[in-house]
Chain A
Amino acid sequence: MSDTPPHGPLHAVLDRPNSYIGRSVPRPNVRRLLQGRGNYVDDIRLPRMVHVAFVRSPYAHARIDGIDTAAALNSPGVVAVVTGAELAEYCTPWVGVLSHLAGLKSQPQHAIAIQKASWQGEAVAAVVAETRAQAEDGVDAVQVQWTELPIVADMETALDDQTPVIHPDLGDNLAWQRSFEAGDVDAAFAAGTVVDEEFSFGRHTGVTVEPRAILSSYEPAEGRLTVHHSCQAPHMMQNIFATHLGLEEHDVRVICGDVGGSYGIKVHAYADEMATAALSVMLRRPVKFIADRLESFLTDIHARDHRVRARMAISESGKILGIEIDDLTGIGPYSVYPRTSGIEANQIVNLTGAQYTCGNYRAKTTVVFQNKVPMCQYRAVGHPIATAVTEGLVDAAAAAIGMDPIEVRRRNLIPDDAYPCTAATGLSFEGLSHHRALARLVELMDYDSLRAEQERLRGDGIYRGIGIATFIELTNPSAMFYGVGGARISAQDGCTLRLDAKGNVICTTGVTEQGQGAEAVMAQVTATAVGVTIDKVRVITGDTDVVPYGGGTWASRAAGIGGEAAVQAGKALRENILKVAGIILQAEPETLDIREGRVVDGADGNDRIGLDEVGRIAYYRADTLPKDFQSELVATRHYVPKLFPFAFTNGVQASWLEVDIETGFVTLLKHWAVEDCGTVINPQLVDEQIRGGVVQGIGGALFEHCLYDDHGQLLNGSMMDYLTPMAAEMPDIEVAHVETPTADSELGAKGAGEAGTAGAPAAVLNAINDALMPLDVRLNIHPATPERILAALGTVG
C-alpha cells in the first residue's frame, strides 16, 4: 500500500521518453534468487578446498595457559590446527581507531587471540579439515588450559577504580569521550519547564539470513589471493587483506557475489575472516569459513547498548529551549576495525535534536571497554537512539505543558523554507521537508479520528497509544565520514558502461548487491541515461578485478552515489554512441537521441538506426568509418558528493498500538512512515527498504536483546531465545514519500536504507507511553518487554 510518488522536479537527463526513474521495475536477480539458484559463498566449491572451524573461548575473559592440539591433529580429516601465535606470522594485527575521533584508543587485535580471550566466543585456535563436520570434531578435541580473569561486564562501572582494566597497556577501560556544547544551555534550562528522562537501549545484532561467509584461495605461484566474501565493501576488504597479509593490493581479488542480507553486519574486518584468509596463505589451499548461527551470535558485531540521561527545557508556548544528553556505551574489548566503535556514540551526539530549531545543546558521550562481543555499526548507526531520546523528550515535554505532540513538533521543526542551514551540532542541511512530511503523515493516519478512537476505547479499559517520531537520516556520505580520519574506505564510486556489438549495455559498478536491489537501481538509471530498454542492461557488481574502484554498500549510499556515477557514465556513453551514429547517418550528433535502444531524430523521434547496427559497424566494420575517427563505446565516470558532507534525509513515522495492561503485551496495530529520500528511483524497492527498516527498528524496540549475565556470558545466543521480529507480530506498514532531490547530483537521489530503523523505535516507545498516559507511567527502556511494562505499571516489583 504505497502512494505512487508525485515527482519532484526531475533533471532533464532523467526526464526522458523511456525513463525508468520512479518505476517499480522488478530486480534483475529476483527470479534467480527466488528459484533457489543464488550463488552464495557457501555454494562455491573449489578444488582442494578445506574448511575451518574455530576453538572459541567459553569465558568472557581468560588467560590462555596452553593449547594441546595433539588429539585434534589425529582426528579424522584434520589438516591443520593453528594457534594465534602461529597465524601471527602470516597476518599482522590491527587497531580500530580513526584520527577524527580524537583520543579514541584500542588494543591491537590479532586474527586469532594470542595470550588471552577477551570475550566469550573469541577464537583462540583454528582447526582446518576436509569437511566442516570434521573441523568441528577437531575443535572438540582441542584442549585449552585457561585461567579465568576478572570480568568487566557492566558499562556503568567499567571506569570505577575497583574495576580491573581489560588491556593494561591502555591504562584504563575508557575508549573514547566526546563533549559538545552550543548556545547557552544553562540559561535555557533556567527559563523553561524541564523534563528529565533516562533512556536505555539493549544490545542487539543484525541476524542476516545468510551468515558471515568467506572462501579464501591463495595461488602461491602468482602470489595472488582470491577471496569470495559475503560483504558490503569489496575494495575496503581488498585493502585490508593486502595490508595485513603483506600482499600487493592488485594481487588481492575480492569477489562479493550473492549476499543474503548485511545490515551493516558485513562491513567490518572480522578476526575469524582475517584468519581464514591468512590460513589460505599459510596452507596454500582454499579455506572456507561459514559462521554457523551459534557463532554468529557470539561474533557478529552487536550494536546499540546505550544509556542516555537526557533533559529538555520547553517554554509554555511549546518552544524547545534546550537539550542536554549524557550518553554511555560499552563496546566490547576492542574498537572494531576499520570503522571503529566510536561512530555510534558520535552519531548520537551529532543527531540528537537536529531536526529542531533549538540552538542550545550540550552533549557528552563516554565509550568504554567491556568483556562482551565487540559492538560496531549496524543499520541506522546511532539514529534510533538519537531519535528515541529526542522524540521521547518531546513527548514528555508536550505532556508537561499540556500540548498535543503533533503541535509541539510543528512549532519546533526546522521550517521547510529555511534551507540551506546548519544545526546546533554543526550538521549542514541542504534541504529537508519536515513540515510537508508531518502534514502528509497526519493526513495519512487520520490523526484526529485516531485520537477520538483512543479516547473512546479508554472508556472500555482498552489502552491504545499513538507515537510520533520525526527524524533525520545521514546518507550519501562524503569522505568526511571515514576517509578524513585515515580509513582507506572510498566515499567515491564509479561506473563503467560499455556498449556491446549487439546494442546491449554492460554496467560495472563499485556498489554492491546485498539483496536490497542495488542492481535493479543501477539498471534503471543506466537504461534511462543511455536510452535503452532495461532488458538490454547487464549489471556486474562486487568483483575488485572487474568493477571501478568504490566504497560498496553502507550508510545508504548505493543508489545516491553509485546511481549518480551511472547517470554520468550513461550520458557520456550516449554521447559516444551518437558520435558514431552521426558519422554513419551523416547527421550532427546533437540532432540525434537514443530511445528504447534505437538512434532517432531528436526533434520528431523518427527512427534512424538501431544500436545493434551501430555496434556492428563500430566493432566489425571500422574500415567504413573515417580514418581520423576512433569510436569509444565505453565510458567510465565517478562521483563523490561535493557540496555537502552528507545528504541528510528526513522522515516521520507513527505507531498505533495497544498495551494489554494485565499481561504487559503490546499489539502493534498499524505503522506509518513518510520519508523524503529525494528522487525515488524504484518506489517498490524504497518502500520495502522502509518496511524492512521499520521491522528491524521494531525488533530493537520490543523484541531483540542480547542478554548477558554478570560473567559476560551471552544467555540467549540462539534463534530460539533471541527474538527477531517475525511477520505475525508486525503491523501493516503504510509508506508515503515527499521528494526533495539533492542538487549535489543530477539524479537527486538520497539514501533510504536506514530511515525505517531510525524512526521506528521512537514511534513505538512513544506510542506505549501514550497508551499508558492515563496511568501516569513512563517507560524508556528498549526493548519494552512485557516484564518491563508490568514493572513500570507497578504490577510486578
Chain B
Amino acid sequence: MKPAPFNYIKPSSIGDALAALGEHPEAVLLAGGQSLLPMLNMRLVAPSHVIDIGALPAMNEVSIADGWLRMGALLRHCDLAASPTVAEAAPLLQAAARHIGHPAIRNRGTIGGSLALADPAAELPACLLALGGRLVIEGLDGERVVEAAAFFTGTFETALRRDEILRAVEVPVLAPKYRSEFHELARRLGDYALVGLAAHGQIDNGGVHDLRLAFFAVGDKPALAVAAARSLEGKSLSEANIAAAVALLADDIHPIGQPGYGERTKLHHCGVLVKRALSRMAA
C-alpha cells in the first residue's frame, strides 16, 4: 500500500494551480487528502503530478452576500460544523457535517474535496441538492457557476473539467419558515451511510411547501424524490400523508444494492428515513 511515484507541486495562487493543471494532463489536485491519499496508496490512481492546493489563500472563508451563503472549497468539515454563520444560514449543512467520517477526517477533509470527489454515499452533495445550491468553478478562462442538480453526473463524476478547480459553494440563506432534517443510517458511528436523506421544505399554515427530499448512498449520485415530495405540496404532514408519499418512493428512487444490503432493503430504509424526517419536521 505505497503510492506509485509522483511529482509534488505546491502552487501559491489559484492561477499557478490552474496553470500547473493545464501543463500536466495526468495531474490531480490534493486538498485535505482524506480520499486522495487512500486512493494513491491503494494505487487506484497513479497521477504524474499531485498539485497541493491545501494552502491556497482565501479559499476557506464563510460569508453571506445577496441572500447566499458562500463557503470556500477549502473549508474543512470541522469548521463547517463549528461555524455559527453556517448554523444559522444553513442548519442542514451543520447537521450533515457531524456525520462525515470521524473527527480526524473532519479535521483535514474539505467540503470542496467532498463535492469534487462526488462519492455517491457522501453527505454534502445531497445537502446541496436539497438546498438548491450551486458551485463556483474556476478555470483558466474564468469562473462559471453550475447548479448542484447539474453538477453531480455519476459515481465520482461531476461537471468539473479536469483543468478546473472548484472554488466555492453557495446555498440560499435559510428563508422564513423553512426547516430541514438530516437523517442517515450507518452501521457504525462515522461510517459512510448505508443510506441517507437530506430534507428541506417550508412549513406554513399547517402544510408543507417546496419540499425537497434528497437521498444519498442510493445510486450513482444523490437523488431527489420528486414525486413523493410533490405529493405532499400544501398538505399537512399527517401520518397518512407521509405514508402515501413513502409509497411513491419506489417510482422516484431506484437504489443500487451493495454486498449484504440489497436494493429492496435500501428502498425500505429510504421510506423509514422519510417517515422519521417528516414526522420531526411536523413536530
Partner-B contacts on A (CB < 8 A): 131-133, 136-137, 140, 292-294, 662-665, 703, 705, 707, 709, 715-716, 720-721, 723, 726, 728-729, 785-787, 790-791, 795-797
CB contact list, B238-283 vs A, under 8 A? 259-262, 264-265, 268-269, 272
For the complex of A and B, the 9 pairs showing the least CB-CB separation, nearest first, are: A133-B2, A728-B189, A292-B1, A707-B259, A715-B259, A787-B265, A796-B264, A796-B265, A662-B272
Contacts A140-B43, A795-B268 given; does A703 touch B4 at CB 8 Å: no
Q: Does B142 contact A (CB under 8 A)?
A: no
Q: Does B187 contact A (CB under 8 A)?
A: yes
Considering the complex, which residues of chain B in the window 1-49 have a beta carbon less than 8 Å from any beta carbon of chain A? 1-5, 42-43
**Contact assessment for A294 and B42 in the assembled complex, using a CB-CB cutoff below 8 Å:** yes
The docked-state distance in angstroms from the alpha carbon of A797 to that of B267 is 12
Query: How far is B6's CA from A137's CA once the two chains are assembled, in angstroms?
Result: 12
B269 contact set on A, CB distance < 8 A: 663, 786
Q: How far is the CA of A294 from the CA of B260 in the complex (A)?
A: 20
Cα A292 to Cα B42 in complex, Å, equals 10
Q: How far is the CB of B258 from chain A (nearest CB, A)?
A: 9
- Complex alpha-carbon distance, A662 and B185, angstroms: 12
In the complex, the answer to whether B1 meets A293 with C-beta atoms within 8 Å is yes
Task: Say how far A422's CB is from chain B's closest CB, in angstroms.
Answer: 42
Instruction: Enumerate chain A residues within 8 angstroms of B43, measured Cβ to Cβ.
Output: 136, 140
**A274, B190: Cα distance in complex, Å:** 38
Shortest Cβ gap from A419 to chain B (Å): 43
Residue among B194, B259, B260 having the largest count of chain A Cβ atoms under 10 Å: B260
Question: Is the Cβ of A720 less than 8 Å from the Cβ of B192?
Answer: yes
Known: A703-B188, A707-B259. 13 other contacts (CB 8 A): A137-B5, A293-B1, A662-B272, A663-B272, A716-B260, A723-B188, A723-B191, A726-B188, A728-B189, A729-B187, A785-B261, A795-B268, A797-B264
Q: How many chain-B residues does the 8 Å CB contact rule pick out? A: 24
Residues in B neighbouring A703, C-beta threshold 8 A: 187-188
Say whether A136 contacts B268, CB under 8 Å: no
| With contact pairs A140-B43, A705-B260 given, residues A133 and B192 touching in the complex (Cβ less than 8 Å) | no
A385 to chain B, nearest CB (A): 20
CB distance from A314 to the nearest CB of B (A): 34
Residue in contact with B262 in the complex, picked from A293, A726, A787, CB distance below 8 Å: A787
Shortest CB–CB separation between residue A792 and chain B, in angstroms?
Answer: 12
A785/B260 in contact, CB under 8 A: yes
What is the CB-to-nearest-CB distance from B253 to chain A, in angstroms, rounded to a whole number?
15
C-alpha spacing A133/B1, complex, angstroms: 8
Residue pairs across A and B with Cβ atoms less than 8 A apart, 5 shown, are A663-B185, A665-B185, A705-B260, A716-B260, A790-B265
Question: In whole angstroms, how far apart are the Cα atoms of A198 and B136 in the complex?
Answer: 57
- B259 near A716 with CB under 8 A, answer yes
Closest to A663 in B: B272
B257 to chain A, nearest CB (A): 9
| Contacts of B173-222 to chain A: CB distance below 8 A | 185, 187-192, 194
- The reply to whether A729 and B189 contact each other, CB–CB distance below 8 Å, is yes
A703-B187, A715-B259 known; A796 vs B268 contact (CB < 8 Å):
yes
Q: How far is the CA of A542 from the CA of B276 in the complex (A)?
A: 56
Inter-chain contacts of B272 with A (CB < 8 A): 662-663
Q: How far is the CA of A721 from the CA of B42 in the complex (A)?
A: 14
In whole angstroms, what is the CA distance A721 to B258 when docked?
A: 10
CA of A796 to CA of B261 in the docked complex: distance in angstroms? 11
B261 touching A787, Cβ below 8 Å: yes
In whole Å, how far is A85's beta carbon from the nearest beta carbon of chain B?
27
A-contact bits for B139-166, CB 8 A (1 contact / 0 none): 0000000000000000000000000000
Q: Is the CB of A132 within 8 A of B2?
A: yes
Contacts A132-B2, A136-B43 known; A796 to B262 CB distance under 8 Å?
Answer: yes
Please determine whether A133 and B188 come into contact, CB atoms closer than 8 angstroms: no
Point out the residues of chain A lying under 8 angstroms from B4, CB to CB. Answer: 136-137, 140
Bound complex: CA A423 to CA B92 (Å): 61
**Assembly CA distance A687 to B43 (angstroms):** 42
Which residue of the partner chain A has the closest CB to B275?
Answer: A662
The distance from the CB of A8 to the nearest CB of chain B, in whole angstroms, is 40
Contact check, B188 vs A728: say whether CB atoms are below 8 A apart: yes
Looking at B4, B5, B265, B269, the one whose CB has the most chain A CB atoms below 10 A away is B265
Give the docked Cα–Cα distance between A787 and B190 (Å). Answer: 20
Write the chain B residue with the least CB distance to A76.
B5
Is the beta-carbon distance between B268 and A707 smaller than 8 angstroms? no
Shortest distance in angstroms between B165's beta carbon and chain A's nearest beta carbon?
A: 27
Kindly provide the distance from the CB of B209 to the nearest chain A CB, expressed in whole angstroms. Answer: 27
* Cα A723 to Cα B194 with chains together (Å): 13
Nearest Cβ distance between residue B192 and chain A, in whole angstroms? 7
Residues of A within 8 A of B260 (CB): 705, 707, 716, 785, 787
**Residues of the A chain whose Cβ atoms lie less than 8 Å from the Cβ of B194:** 786
Residues of B within 8 A of A709 (CB): 259
CB-CB under 8 A from A715, the residues of chain B are 259
> For residue A726, which residues in chain B have a CB less than 8 angstroms away from its CB?
188-190
**Within the complex, what minimum Cβ distance (angstroms) separates B104 from chain A?**
13
Rounded to whole Å, the gap between the CB of B278 and the closest CB of chain A is 14
Question: Which residue of chain A has its CB nearest to the CB of B257?
Answer: A787
* Chain B contacts for A791, CB-based, 8 A: 265
B245 CB to nearest A CB, Å: 16
**In the complex, A136→B42 CA distance in Å?**
11
| Cβ contacts under 8 Å, A723 to chain B | 187-188, 191
Q: How far is the CB of B17 from chain A (nearest CB, A)?
A: 26
Provide the residues of chain B in CB contact with A721, threshold 8 Å: 259
Residues of B within 8 A of A293 (CB): 1
Contact B5 A786 (CB under 8 A): no
Find the B residue at minimum CB distance from A790. B265
Question: Nearest chain-B residue to A725 (Cβ)?
Answer: B188
Bound: A45/B185 CA distance, A: 45
CA distance A716 to B191 in the complex (A): 14
Residues on A with C-beta less than 8 A from B265 are: 664, 786-787, 790-791, 796
Residues in B whose Cβ lies below 8 Å from that of A729 = 187-189
The smallest C-beta distance from B273 to any residue of chain A, in angstroms, reads 9
A137–B259 CA distance with the chains assembled, in angstroms: 31
- Inside 8 A of A137's CB, which chain B residues have their CB? 4-5
Chain A hits for B187, CB < 8 A: 703, 723, 729, 786
Which residues in A have their C-beta under 8 angstroms from that of B259? 707, 709, 715-716, 721
A290 nearest CB neighbor, chain B only: B1
A774 to B185, CA, bound (A): 25
A137, A703, A709, A720: which has the most chain B beta carbons within 10 Å? Answer: A137
Q: What is the CA–CA distance of A664 and B194 in the complex, to the nearest angstrom?
A: 13
A136 to B41 alpha-carbon distance, docked (Å): 11
In angstroms, Cα B43 to Cα A132, docked, is: 14
Asked if residues B262 and A136 are in contact (CB atoms below 8 Å), the reply is no
Q: With A663-B269, A786-B265 given, is the CB distance from A294 to B188 under 8 Å?
A: no
Q: How far is the CB of A443 from chain B (nearest CB, A)?
A: 33
Residues of A within 8 A of B261 (CB): 785-787
Q: How far is the CB of A784 from chain B (nearest CB, A)?
A: 12
Query: Given the complex, which residues of A lie within 8 Å of B192, measured CB to CB?
Result: 720
In the bound complex, CA of A716 to CA of B194 (Å): 14
Q: Report the Cα distance A709→B257, complex, angstroms.
A: 14
